[in-house]
Structure 1
Amino acid sequence: MRGSHLSRTRTLTAVLALATAGTVALSGCGQQKQTVGTAPAPKKQDAFERRADQLVRDWPKVSPVTGRQQALLPLVGADRPKDKGVREITVTVGHSACDVHFGARSHESKDLVVITGWGKRKSNKGMCTEQLATDKVTVRLKTALDGRKVVDAATGKQLLKG
């Protein structure tokens, strides 16, 4: 009996050591084994993702963001879609005349489509006027608009009612 108890102790110690290391080989009633590792670290949210989550959570009681952030540029407007089944929305992004790249991105929830403009300058060195440039950008949705409200991430204001 003593040898059986010692064997179980060694097995348990080995399993605990592997679990501490982050990987465990599990076997159940069958002959198949499954290797289980540690979960990957969660992806760090950027400014837009954090803001979109806040808008979805707190809607409609939201305030505009403070300051101007290149990842959260306010939208000048949005074109009204032809019907609720559309999967694209055209927005007008207000960005710096010095931005060499600009665009828009979205975050979708059951009730809201949160959209922001973004801009990227070639470099922060040199002179740049603070002129506002506006351009239309089409945002593709994962699912049809279907009655959801379209909200500007920077201002927190509703642009369109689905």
Structure 2
Amino acid sequence: MQRSPSPRGLMGMEDKTRSRGPRALVLAALAPLVLTLAACGEVRAPGVGGPETAVGATTATDSMTGISPGPGRQPATTLPAASAPQAFADRAKVVADAFRATGSPDAPAGLVLLSPWADVAFETDAQKVAWLAGKVDFGPGVPDDQVGVSQMTLPDGSERPVDLLGPRESVTRALQGAGGDCSGVAADDCRLTLKRATPTTTQVTTNEGEATVPAWSFTVDGMSRPIVVVATAPGPLDRPVPRPLAGLPPAPAGFSSADSLDAVSGSTITVRIGHGACDRDLTGHAVEFDDVVVVGATHTPPDPGTMCTMEYLLTPSTVQLAEPLGDRVVLDVVSGKTLLLGVPPM
């Protein structure tokens, strides 16, 4: 139901959860996963749904950095946040209007995977960069893809038969969205070799609780722990994939995207901002509407002629809303994509 625009006043930290239909039900189910994402306070998932209200903000207190920067440069662990400048507020209104015109994608039906497809315990920065860049090779001990059938144990303890993906296809799915170069890492070190694949099971988080699913355990050259990748074929267990809003005009220069929603506590939300290594004056912002909250950051581009590594960094920023998020949708100011609590950046 579309609500008439209305300004928002500053309120306390108490939670005001509103119900706006089936989309809110699925997104509210994300809450169990993210209870661990905040040290204290109540963590809730965003839901769905005016003039906008640009809000003030605080500096993040936790550190959730993305790809490590190059040698000799210390990563920023948090970004400051502040009230949105007029240009950001104007862009936020464009995004909110486009969202209302298009509507959010249909909520996934059935069991929804909230964990990543792969459980990876990186031991070095080079391993992390290689995985995020998709620099993965298969050794002779990893067979070609093969079909099969197994069982998954649902959160209520019941079992369901599931088709399986082969080891290579499972890894390919887990690496969807990976890309980029190996800046800051020697080319010879920016490569993971999967030597062997062994059938196993793994526990994952879903919108209904913990489930046990078939998986592949990969022995990796140079890593003491295996990489475990979910092997269930599409259908009984899927992950929501936030997508950019179709037809949204490009964002002006000087805007940085919010790539994930990492935590919600009352009126405080933490997002991870994607930015370049030499972007200056990075500051997180949020603009509130009755049905959505648009988040992102602004920055000053590097000075002309500045030598800068080709890196894409993810750094958290915590913004303070005028009132609790409740069931409002959180949108990225650059792409317009819906940010779902607990779903990591693509």
CA distance in 1, matches of 2:252, 2:90: 16
Residue 75 of structure 1 corresponds to which residue in structure 2?
258
Contact 2:285 2:295 in 1 (8 A): yes
Residue 160 of structure 1 corresponds to which residue in structure 2?
340
CA drift of 1:67 comes to 6.7
Contact 1:93 1:103 in 2 (8 A): no
What letter is aligned with 1:145? L
What letter is aligned with 2:314? T
What letter is aligned with 2:250? T
Contact 2:294 2:332 in 1 (8 A): yes
CA distance in 1, matches of 2:99, 2:251: 21
CA distance in 2, matches of 1:116, 1:152: 6
CA drift of 1:117 comes to 2.2
Residue 223 of structure 2 corresponds to which residue in structure 1?
none
Residue 143 of structure 1 corresponds to which residue in structure 2?
323
Q: Cα–Cα, structure 1 residues 57 and 121, in superposed 2: closer, same or farther, change >3 Å? A: closer
CA distance in 2, matches of 1:67, 1:54: 10
Q: Cα–Cα, structure 1 residues 129 and 56, in superposed 2: closer, same or farther, change >3 Å? A: same
Deviating 4+ runs (over 4 angstroms): none
Which segments of 5 or more consecutive residues in structure 2 lack a partner in the other structure? 1-84, 103-244, 342-346
> 1:90-109: per-residue Cα shift (whole Å, max 9, x none)?
01001110123212101100
**1:14-25 residue pairs with structure 2 within 5 A?**
none
Residue 57 of structure 1 corresponds to which residue in structure 2?
97
Q: Cα–Cα, structure 1 residues 140 and 66, in superposed 2: closer, same or farther, change >3 Å? A: same
**1:1-162 residue pairs with structure 2 within 5 A?**
45-46=86-87, 48-60=88-100, 61=102, 62-63=245-246, 64-66=248-250, 69-71=253-255, 73-82=256-265, 86-121=266-301, 123-160=303-340
Q: Which has the higher contact order (CA 8 A, sep 6+)?
A: 2
**Higher-helix-fraction structure:** 1
SS at match of 1:131: coil
| Greater C-alpha radius of gyration | 1
The size of the alignment, in residue pairs, is 113
What letter is aligned with 1:155? S
CA distance in 2, matches of 1:118, 1:45: 11
Which segments of 5 or more consecutive residues in structure 1 lack a partner in the other structure? 1-43
**Higher-strand-fraction structure:** 1
SS at match of 1:117: strand
CA distance in 2, matches of 1:80, 1:138: 9
CA drift of 1:155 comes to 0.9
Residue 13 of structure 1 corresponds to which residue in structure 2?
none
SS at match of 2:339: strand
Q: Structure 2 length normalisation: TM-score?
A: 0.30
Deviates more, 1:127-136 or 1:109-118: 127-136
Q: Give the fraction of aligned pairs with identical amino acids, expressed as a percent.
A: 27
CA distance in 2, matches of 1:68, 1:54: 12
Contact 1:95 1:118 in 2 (8 A): no
